[in-house]
Structure 1
Amino acid sequence: MQSFPANPDSLNEPVTLLDDQGTSWVLHRKRLDLRIVRRLVKDATTLVLWGDMGGMNPRLTTETERPMLWDRIKDEYMGPGGTWSTGRFLAHEFRAEPGRRMLYVEDHC
C-alpha cells in the first residue's frame, strides 16, 4: 500500500492512493461525521484502511479486526460528531470505480 508524505487530512486535493492491486483511490470526503464512520466500518463491502503514525502508513484491516474497530474509534473520534479535544482518530472516504468505497482511519497516537 502506498504511504503518504503527510496525513490525508493535511494534503492538498486531489489526493490519490494506489493500493497493492494497482487500483487508484481518490479522496472523496475528508473528516467524515462519526455516524458515517460507523456505517462504513460495519459495511462489509467497504474496505477499511488503518493509517498508523498520524495516517501516513496505511494498512488494510483484516476481517477479524473489523468488529473491534468501531469500539476503538467511537470514544476517541476527533472529527464531526466526536470528541474534538480528546480525540485521536480521524476518518476519510476514498472512492474507486465502479462504485467502490474505502474508509481511511488516521490514528494520531
Structure 2
Amino acid sequence: MELFPANPDSLHDPVTLLDEQGTAWVLHRRRVDLRTVRRLIKDAATQVVWADMGGIRPHPTTEAERPTLWDRIRNDYRGPGGSGSTGRCVAHEFRAEPGHRMLYVAEDC
C-alpha cells in the first residue's frame, strides 16, 4: 500500500490510495464517528488499514487483529464520539468501486 505524504485528514481532495492489487481507494468521509468505526471494524467485508507514523504508513490488518485494534482505538479516539483532543487515533472511510469500503485508522506519533 502506498505511503501518504501526510495524514489523509490534512490532504486536499480528491485523496486516493492505491493498494497492492492496484485498486484505487477514494476518501469518502473524514473523521468518522466512533460508532461507525466500531461497526466497520466488525464488518468482515470492510478492509481495515492501520496507519502509524502520523497516519502516513498504512498496512492492512488481519481479521484476527481487529478485536485488538478496536480495544486500542475505543479509548484513544480523537474523532467524533471519542476522547477529543487527548486521543491519538482518528479514522477515515475510503471507497472503491463497486461498493467496497475501507476503514483507514491513523495513529499520531
For the criterion TM > 0.5, the same-fold answer is yes
- State the alpha-carbon separation in 2 of the partners of residues 83 and 54 from structure 1: 18
Taking structure 1 as the reference length, the TM-score comes to 0.98
Aligned pair count reads 109
Letter in 2 for 1:66: R
* Shift in Å, 1:68: 1.1
- State the alpha-carbon separation in 2 of the partners of residues 11 and 85 from structure 1: 20
- State the alpha-carbon separation in 2 of the partners of residues 85 and 36 from structure 1: 19
Look up the match of 2:108: 108
Structure 1 spans left out of the alignment, 5+ residues: none
Query: Secondary structure in 1 aligned to 2:64?
Result: coil
Taking structure 2 as the reference length, the TM-score comes to 0.98
- State the alpha-carbon separation in 2 of the partners of residues 58 and 94 from structure 1: 13
Look up the match of 1:96: 96
* Shift in Å, 1:40: 0.2
Moved more, 62-71 or 49-58: 62-71
Can you list the C-alpha shifts for 1:50-79, whole angstroms capped at 9, x where unaligned? 011011000000122112111110011000
Asked if residue 40 in structure 1 is aligned to residue 40 in structure 2, the reply is yes
- State the alpha-carbon separation in 1 of the partners of residues 38 and 105 from structure 2: 12
Percent identity over the alignment is: 71
- State the alpha-carbon separation in 2 of the partners of residues 9 and 86 from structure 1: 17
Can you list the C-alpha shifts for 1:2-44, whole angstroms capped at 9, x where unaligned? 0000000000010000000000000000000000000001101
Q: Which runs of 4+ in 1 moved over 2 A?
A: none
Look up the match of 1:16: 16
Structure 2 spans left out of the alignment, 5+ residues: none
Look up the match of 2:77: 77
